[in-house]
Structure 1
Amino acid sequence: IVVPLSTTLRLAPTHVELPAGEGGLKETSMAKCEQVTALDKSFLIRGPFAGTINPSIMREIEKAIQRAIGIVAV
């Protein structure tokens, strides 16, 4: 699964901020965890998605996904 990013910075319980430089991002962005979707693995292999993110931010994203699908209360 993938979480889309946006450079429009709107606060929401299902959004997680990724600062510029994190994972190779050029601009500060928001992970929009309520829009989680599937992506063919071939896009990850040949695409520009080579960055990694800090484990603490990844935990925030995991929590936000849980909120989005109703596992954790908002």
Structure 2
Amino acid sequence: MRQTLPCIYFWGGLLPFGMLCASSTTKCTVSHEVADCSHLKLTQVPDDLPTNITVLNLTHNQLRRLPAANFTRI
């Protein structure tokens, strides 16, 4: 799931003259064999997860479908 997202410039408010860029990589937390990808506003299952995970938490995202092909590596 590698996407190039545009940077958003804020010229007022909380980040004056600052810049906020969205990350292009997944921010799932992986510990041992558990991947927590909850609350990340994901629209698809990340494709860069380790192959040895046994638990994958995808709750509270924007997933509309979960094709079986997303789980062939894990």
Which interval holds the TM-score relative to the shorter structure? under 0.3
User: Which structure is higher in helix share?
Assistant: 1
Greater relative contact order (CA < 8 Å, ≥ 6 in sequence): 1
- Give the alignment's TM-score, normalised by structure 1: 0.25
- Give the alignment's TM-score, normalised by structure 2: 0.25
